Amino acid sequence: MGTVVAFLAVSQGFALTIWKTIPLSPASKGSIPKVAHNVTVLNNSPPNRPFAVNIVEGKDTYASDSHKEAGYENETKETDKQDKLASDYIPNSHKEVKVEKDYPQAITNLTLGGVQNHVGILPFVSEGISSKGLGNFCADSRTLFFADNNISTAANVEPTTKMQPKHKKTRPMQTVSITQMSSLLQKSHVSSWSTRSRWSSVQDRELLSAKLEISNAPIVMNSPGLHASVFRNASKFRRSYELMEQKLKVYIYREGEKPIFHQPLLRGIYASEGWFMKLIEANKRFVVRDPRKAHLFYLPFSSQMLRMNFMGSKKVQEKYLKNYVELIASKYRFWNRTGGADHFLVACHDWASRVTRQHMRNCIRSLCNANVAKDFKIGKDTTLPVTYIRSGEDPLKDLGGKPPSQRCILAFFAGSMHGYVRPLLLEYWENKVPNMKIFGPMPRDIEGKRKYREYMKDSKYCICARGYEVHTPRVVESIFYGCVPVIILDNYVPPFFEVLNWEALSVFVLEKDIPNLRNILLSIPEEKYLSMQLRVKMVQKHFLWHKKPVKYDIFHMVLHSIWYNRVHQMKST
């Protein structure tokens, strides 16, 4: 339809900074202007910062924030299909526009039409409007939308709370090193996180027996399919895994309605929770129908769908989960027996650690956002790997990379400028030396995505730098493409930390040491690099999704971490 240029002119008789220049990218083919009637717009942007627009229209959701975390800014046609799939289950039939500044400084809860409106969810009705091409609406496109004259600004609406920063711009006050994390893990095995059961069960005794067997596991020098050098204790892991296969029984609550429960999403940055849900619900080896036989109880909700259905309100999400816990606690006796300590959840959205920390605090939480300086409890919670799945039909597409001798790039990073670490990374290393390929977001077209993958396959080290939160898909991407991860994620607990020896296959760099990054990498002897790269290939099988799970794959490793922590919570009475 050509280039659409639109501008929101707001004048309500109060001081307001006017944008003097508004850069606009050409509208994609098929894109159209939207006309919003009687809406309220948050008007506290700094100069020269346009709105980022996310549009929810009946059965179409676009510009999901999940895709900006990838090396390129947004997906194209494949992502549009996924976004449509996700939003097919959004119950609201009316159309909405989410107007949110691409600026992590302030957010205001507004009262709009008698209803509290979080981060500017603006309903409007407009029939017969095509949505083709709107998947390209994103913060970087600098696309604005039309609005009619019935616009009021946030200055005319009384805020219900003071403005709060969305994301901290400074480094955390406390940094827990990888060595300190290992110490915390050992201490957690001595002082259990578990609440004492109100009464003992056969399953408790089986778990205690398993704990004893794991502690006294005989040393095994060679174990088919396992490489001792990537594990803390390969013999204990092998015995624990065997016992899980022999003994573990999981009950999945049937309660909970779609789209938040029992509805796995299999693509995008939060796909790990969806893949686990899909595979565990289809599993016949571990899942039982009789809850009295279960060692563990799975809470089958999607944190991504929870966020999509209750945008902008963590408290509403918390209350929704509180109501669910109260439902199963009133219907079954198992939650009350342990206070939820034998229950687990698998959640990948950034907010999952926050919305589950109160009413599900005793549960074993498998979380992508595994920040030990916040709500993550080593020894109780486990880290869910962030796996960016581009193809639900072929999750192993493009696996592997070049051999070490052909990797000519010292280090590579590309990604959006989320948080405080990435801008610092570019400040020091963008275009500084030829063998350090440090970029901002790469083009989101097919060629840009291909180049991103090729850079990873060509690089010795791949930089895994935090965005707004500590987790990133680049850790698993690095392993996927045979690149040694350089983890610049202060306070991040790596996946399968209970059993894997991460210091043997990756490089940990504190955020404060970014100015010295190149010297740190060059100081690593070639022999050590080669051994780390070999271990990356050895550990690769533990980070791969399969449509039908196979031994030691990521599905079994996620389940094993949950089993392992529950076993080590048990204490003899």
Band of pLDDT at residue 171, cut at 50, 70 and 90: low
Same domain flag for 378 and 521: no
Question: CB–CB of 76/446 below 8 Å?
Answer: yes
Please state the rounded mean pLDDT for residues 45-71. Answer: 37
- Give me the pLDDT at residue 194, please: 56
- Give me the pLDDT at residue 115, please: 32
- Give me the pLDDT at residue 104, please: 33
pLDDT over threshold 70, residue 554: yes
- Give me the pLDDT at residue 193, please: 55
pLDDT digits (tens, 9 = 90+) for 234-289: 999 999 999 999 999 999 999 999 999 999 999 889 999 999 999 999 999 999 99
Same domain flag for 462 and 519: yes
Same domain flag for 321 and 216: yes
Q: Is residue 122 part of a domain?
A: no
Q: Is residue 447 part of a domain?
A: yes
Spatial distance between the Cα atoms of 555 and 272, rounded to a whole number of angstroms: 9
- Give me the pLDDT at residue 257, please: 93
Number of H helices, E strands in the chain: 15, 20
pLDDT over threshold 90, residue 297: yes
CATH number at residue 444: 3.40.50.2000
pLDDT digits (tens, 9 = 90+) for 86-142: 333 333 333 333 333 333 333 333 232 333 333 333 332 333 333 333 333 233 332
pLDDT digits (tens, 9 = 90+) for 30-54: 333 333 333 333 333 343 333 333 3
- Give me the pLDDT at residue 67, please: 44
Spatial distance between the Cα atoms of 307 and 302, rounded to a whole number of angstroms: 9
Please state the rounded mean pLDDT for residues 211-228. Answer: 92
- Give me the pLDDT at residue 143, please: 31
pLDDT over threshold 80, residue 208: yes
Look up residue 135 and give its DSSP letter. G
- Give me the pLDDT at residue 280, please: 98
Spatial distance between the Cα atoms of 479 and 535, rounded to a whole number of angstroms: 10
Same domain flag for 201 and 345: yes
DSSP string across 480-534: HTT-EEEEE-TTB--TTTTTB-GGGT-EE--GGGGGGHHHHHHTS-HHHHHHHHH
pLDDT: which is higher, 444 or 438: 438
pLDDT over threshold 80, residue 572: no
Same domain flag for 557 and 535: no
Band of pLDDT at residue 172, cut at 50, 70 and 90: low
Tell me the residue ranges of DSSP E strands in 304-458.
Answer: 343-347, 364-367, 382-383, 409-413, 436-438
- Give me the pLDDT at residue 395, please: 84
Spatial distance between the Cα atoms of 73 and 56, rounded to a whole number of angstroms: 19
Same domain flag for 450 and 505: yes
DSSP string across 272-312: HHHHHHHHHHT-SSSB-S-GGG-SEEE--B-HHHHHHHSTT
pLDDT digits (tens, 9 = 90+) for 229-241: 999 999 999 999 9
Query: 154-158, 196-200, 458-462 — which one is most confidently predicted on average?
Result: 458-462
Q: Is residue 63 part of a domain?
A: no
Q: Which long-range contacts (CB under 8 A, 24 or more apart) does 470-473 make?
A: 470/369, 470/370, 470/371, 471/350, 471/368, 471/369, 471/370, 471/386, 472/69, 472/386, 473/69, 473/70, 473/269, 473/386, 473/387, 473/388
Spatial distance between the Cα atoms of 394 and 543, rounded to a whole number of angstroms: 14
Task: Report the candidate in 464, 501, 488 with the shortest Cα–Cα distance to residue 182.
Answer: 501
Spatial distance between the Cα atoms of 239 and 563, rounded to a whole number of angstroms: 12
Q: Which long-range contacts (CB under 8 A, 24 or more apart) does 492-495 make?
A: 492/370, 492/371, 492/372, 492/466, 493/181, 493/370, 493/371, 493/372, 493/376, 493/378, 493/383, 494/178, 494/383, 495/383, 495/384, 495/385, 495/543, 495/557
Please state the rounded mean pLDDT for residues 382-387. Answer: 97
Please state the rounded mean pLDDT for residues 371-388. Answer: 95
Residue 199 burial (CB < 10 Å; 0-12/13-18/19+)? Answer: exposed
pLDDT: which is higher, 63 or 394: 394
pLDDT digits (tens, 9 = 90+) for 469-479: 999 999 999 99
Structural domain count of the chain = 2
Residue 492 burial (CB < 10 Å; 0-12/13-18/19+)? Answer: buried
Same domain flag for 347 and 268: yes
Rounded percentage of the chain residues whose pLDDT exceeds 70: 68
- Give me the pLDDT at residue 442, please: 96
Same domain flag for 493 and 354: no
Please state the rounded mean pLDDT for residues 168-188. Answer: 83
pLDDT: which is higher, 322 or 155: 322
* Token representation of residue 253: 């609550």
Spatial distance between the Cα atoms of 291 and 255, rounded to a whole number of angstroms: 13
Helix (H) or strand (E) holding 84, with range, is helix 77-87
Q: Give the residue carrying structure tokens 């299909």.
A: 81
Residue 511: domain span:
404-543
Q: Is residue 250 part of a domain?
A: yes
Average pLDDT value over all residues in the chain: 77
Task: Report the candidate in 185, 184, 469, 181 with the shortest Cα–Cα distance to residue 352.
Answer: 469
Question: CB–CB of 296/363 below 8 Å?
Answer: no
Q: Is residue 349 part of a domain?
A: yes
- Give me the pLDDT at residue 170, please: 57
Same domain flag for 446 and 377: no
Q: Is residue 202 part of a domain?
A: yes
Same domain flag for 456 and 528: yes
Same domain flag for 301 and 418: no
Q: Is residue 8 part of a domain?
A: no
Spatial distance between the Cα atoms of 397 and 288, rounded to a whole number of angstroms: 33
Same domain flag for 252 and 321: yes
- Residue 527 to residues 193, 457, 523, 533: CA-CA distances in angstroms? 41, 20, 11, 10
Q: Is residue 106 part of a domain?
A: no
pLDDT digits (tens, 9 = 90+) for 495-514: 999 999 999 999 999 999 99
User: Parallel, antiparallel, or unpaired for β 121-124 and 95-101?
Assistant: antiparallel
- Four-residue CA torsion sign, 496, 501, 505, 509: positive
Band of pLDDT at residue 222, cut at 50, 70 and 90: confident
- Give me the pLDDT at residue 382, please: 98
pLDDT digits (tens, 9 = 90+) for 317-352: 999 999 999 999 999 999 999 999 999 999 999 999
> Would you state the torsion angle of the CA atoms of residues 425, 430, 436, 438, taken in this order, to the nearest 10 degrees?
70
- Give me the pLDDT at residue 232, please: 96
Task: Report the candidate in 243, 197, 225 with the shortest Cα–Cα distance to residue 559.
Answer: 243
